[in-house]
Structures are given as structure tokens and as C-alpha cells.
Amino acid sequence: MQWSFAAGFNGRILPCAASLLRSAVLLFSLLSVAAVANAQQLTLTIPDADQSGLAGSVFTFAGTITNNTGTTLQTSDLFLDFGGFDPNFLTPHQLLGSFGSTIADGSTSGSLQLFELALGPGAAPGATFSSDVMVQDAIANLSDPVTVTVSVAPEPETLTLLWISAMPLAWYVRRRRRRC
């Protein structure tokens, strides 16, 4: 067997190197296209992402959507993806698209009613539940996820009982201070 740098080992090295080079160029091209495709084309903003209320309540979340897809979007062509939530306690309901409006390319919508989260009646006071939300258009442009949280406030009856039970303690402390 003869080996020559120019011809390769029996003529096999150069064809393999050329094939490897073609594969590398193809891979680089695909990664470049993927990087352009993954550029942030939709942006979801929810200013009041943390809300609290009583178990059994429905929370409404509003926000804006920035469109950089290269085309005007109808809100009826957008939908929300929910993930990372406990379905035993949270039920999402999309409001986006209920009222038709458009978002021009390169612009941000006005404030839109996006969705509601219904908190189950069995949620314990003091508990916090979260959900990730993304907006998606008809050709699979996705926004980054936004995490929203719902905290269960103590029920008014609990606060009343706490206040009533603290009254004798407050009276005792006040009376003791007057003696000193």
C-alpha cells in the first residue's frame, strides 16, 4: 500500500475529507437557519403576574404581545400554551382572541385580556400555585415562557377568628404596661 499526502491512502482519505467538509458546511448552514428561526419573534409581557385571592376565585391576567414575525397578526390566530401547573387546583381559560384585533409587525399591542386562572375551592390558605404561559401563532412562533402565580389568601373568617383571639392578649399587654 502506498500513501501519498495529495492522493490520500489509496485515494480514500481525500474523498472522506471532502465528504466530512460537505457535512460540516451543511451542519453549519442548518445551525445558522435554526438560530435565525429561534430569534425572538413574539414577546409576551404580563405586568401583574402575581395575584392573590380566595380559594374558588377566578383571576384575570392582562398583558401585551410584541410582534416581530414579519407579518401582521390577528389575535384570533394566536393561542396560549400553559404548562407546569397543578391541574387539581388551577384551570386556565384563554380569553385572547375573543375580541378580534390586529398586531402590526414590529409593534406591541395595547393591553389585552389574555386568560383566566380558576383556583379550585380546595386550595389551602397560604398556598401558592404557578403556571408557565407562552403565546404561539399559527406557524409555531413561540414567545419565551412567563411564570404567573396565584396565592391563596386566608379566608375572612380565619382573619376574624385570629383578631378575636388576639384581643384578650392585647388587653393583657396593655393593662400590664399601665401598671409599670
Question: b or e along 82-105 (b: 16 or more beta carbons within 10 Å of the residue's beta carbon)?
Answer: beebeeebbebebbbbeeeeebee
* pLDDT exceeds cutoff 60 at 5: no
More confident residue, 41 or 170: 41
Candidates 51, 44, 77; CA nearest to 145 is: 44
pLDDT tens per residue, range 103-123 = 999 999 999 999 999 999 999
* Residue 179 in grid coordinates: 401598671
Q: How far apart are CA 76 and CA 96, in angstroms?
A: 7
Element (H, E) at 178: helix 156-179
Residue 151's domain is classified under what CATH number?
2.60.40.10
What backbone phi and psi angles, to 5 degrees, belong to 80?
-105, 140
Candidates 48, 41, 119; CA nearest to 78 is: 41
The number of folded domains in the chain is: 2
What is the per-residue DSSP string for 55-87?
TT-EEEEEEEEEE-SSS-EEGGG-EEEEES--T
170 inside domain: no
* pLDDT exceeds cutoff 70 at 33: no
169 inside domain: no
What backbone phi and psi angles, to 5 degrees, belong to 62?
-120, 160
pLDDT tens per residue, range 88-107 = 999 999 999 888 899 999 99
pLDDT tens per residue, range 144-169 = 999 999 999 876 666 677 777 778 87
Q: What is the pLDDT of residue 165?
A: 78
Domain containing residue 23: 3-37
Q: What is the pLDDT of residue 133?
A: 98
Q: What is the pLDDT of residue 44?
A: 97
* pLDDT exceeds cutoff 50 at 6: no
Residues 93 and 150 in one domain: yes
Residues 25 and 111 in one domain: no
Residues 79 and 151 in one domain: yes
More confident residue, 23 or 135: 135
What percentage of the chain carries pLDDT values higher than 90? 58
Q: What is the pLDDT of residue 59?
A: 97
pTM of the predicted protein model: 0.66
Q: How far apart are CA 148 and CA 140, in angstroms?
A: 22
Mean pLDDT of 38-62: 92
Measured in whole angstroms, the distance separating CA 60 from the mean position of its chain's CA atoms is: 15
Q: What is the pLDDT of residue 168?
A: 82
Residues 106 and 29 in one domain: no
163 inside domain: no
Residues 32 and 56 in one domain: no
